[in-house]
Structure 1
């Protein structure tokens, strides 16, 4: 989306835990005249911003409403459990969901893993946000299973995390309104997909005129081929004369070499 034809801009929303810095840097290198504005929003706000035209595209977590939004999956995050540093779970580098069977597992209202039912024992009530759940973990009320990026975002010195190898992952995607796939959106798609600056951005490209037009026959093609044959004959004739010149050069080594290569006897003069 653009503010005007003379002053284009691009507005990118992103949800907590997603880091767009690398792609923003590439955008600024390739499109220095098109400002990129970042909007940090909650998952619900990001979807609304796309529908209402507040953002041109957004880095979100799947699923999204595919009836109105397009999405390109980018990567799946590692899932971890956040625990106090002195928790018994820290003895292992990786755990499974079965290892949480006796733990109170907090389930915030803004959970992004889409559990049907989280592992372990349920808490008495659900925290409003992931940030609130982190505070409860620090107070030894329970543990929290989240994408690794959210564990890093809400890092505390008294907490740590371990990978949960069989937990569902959170898939991050680039999303935009299906009916608003603008040129600038295509530019950003190319960036997140790793296309080089000289590669196509995925839009339909017109066929070059040279490829559309049939090749014209070379003017005077047949005579040229005939002439080429004659030229070849002349060349062979010239070669024979050159050989003759070599033979008339007396007893030089070069003359002898050419005479030997020819394999024929000198012609008699009539």
Structure 2
């Protein structure tokens, strides 16, 4: 019999460690496997069953998937440390008008039309594009987490104040989900241990007086008369 386990795919820049720790605390009997996947193939890996859950930047087309947006990332521009744009704390789209912009084939920003002047050469990956930025061939627009992931000492990045943000989402195959997948979704969304959607709320705790009254009512229902200790009834004299 194949042992139970859950495989969670995640794209570069997404950090699932805190959710994996919570899973290990709540379900030590069910291993959770973290599987790094390229952004371009994450949705397909989910559709083919290579992974059970995906933490990704949602593609424009998501047939067959149920997608839950988790948070929004700041969009930044990556430039050499001695670049003119590095002098400001943040930049605007207008600041990029005359800048050569590199757009890798695995671009996850999907900004159309992209600002600046597009460089004809499209590097294979965001990491490759970072190397070209360091070589002075152009600037790169990415989510902030990717700028941090591929950080170099000779590069820096600045937020683009008026740029659209980059969403990060949890995706699963559309339709009814297995219990383990539902449990992971609950962890990611902050659900407390033991709680579930549709579960009836537990009854509130009763006060001491309410407990006493309940006991007296139970005795009365069974035909017993409650007497105060130390006092005999009139019939006992």
TM-score (norm 1): 0.72
Verify: 1:178 aligned to 2:174, yes or no. yes
Other-structure match for 2:9:
13
Residue 95 of structure 1 aligns to a residue in which SS? coil
Rg comparison, structure with higher value: 1
Q: CA–CA distance in 2 between the matches of 1:125 and 1:25? A: 41
Where relative contact order (Cα < 8 A, 6+ residues apart) is larger, the structure is: 2
Q: Give unpaired runs (5+ residues) of structure 1.
A: 209-217, 232-237, 239-270
Alpha-carbon deviation of 1:62? 1.6
Q: Give unpaired runs (5+ residues) of structure 2.
A: 203-216, 228-233
Alpha-carbon deviation of 1:178? 1.5
Q: Which runs of 4+ in 1 moved over 3 A?
A: 63-67, 204-208, 218-222
Other-structure match for 1:39:
35
Structure with the higher helix share, 1 or 2: 1
Verify: 1:89 aligned to 2:81, yes or no. no
Alpha-carbon deviation of 1:28? 0.6
Q: CA–CA distance in 2 between the matches of 1:33 and 1:128? A: 40
- Across the aligned residues of Structure 1 and Structure 2, the Cα RMSD in angstroms comes to 2.7
Alpha-carbon deviation of 1:205? 4.0
Verify: 1:161 aligned to 2:157, yes or no. yes
Q: Deviations over 1:33-73 (max 9, x none)?
A: 10011111112321111111111101011236443111111
Other-structure match for 2:116:
120
From 68, 72, 75, the counterpart of 2:71: 75
Q: Deviations over 1:74-102 (max 9, x none)?
A: 00101111010011111111110100111
TM-score (norm 2): 0.82
Alpha-carbon deviation of 1:207? 9.7
